[in-house]
Chains A and B, each alone.
Chain A
């Protein structure tokens, strides 16, 4: 039972353009959402997060949007750079404890120079 879903396993974008990665969730109790980035042979690294009391959070080239009514969040990367090529995982949580942190299956982003 996948509570966090990333329906696009891969995405290719030209350098300089916008990358939009999508994530849907089913559990309305989730109140904190995170994006992680993973390079091959490395563990995921935290990228950006958003609390359910907000609908947008920006950090440099990265912006996360949250649509609670649609149970949907997205990560925008503008402009995309070749170094952004990685697998991106979205995650959602409520309460405390790692067992309340649910990850999506990941989207592999390829930024073409």
Chain B
């Protein structure tokens, strides 16, 4: 099993450009999450999903949109990238509420 896979691993955008980060999990987990981590800081929750077709806001949702059309995939979109969105983005999934999270290896995003 691959676990949680994030694509791409690296991306450079210009201010105002859009992009989508893809997270895929093969563990049949119900819950999926997107976090961002800025240098020297902890992880902050952007959006999460409790099942296929559902999404909800986390701590820092502004400037991001998400979709969970299929159970195994959780997409994070940036409609108009800003330099403040330069960060490392981590996707995670879990089988049940409050239980063990499995993380992907991260996407390094730079917005110039």
Chain A complexes with chain B: no
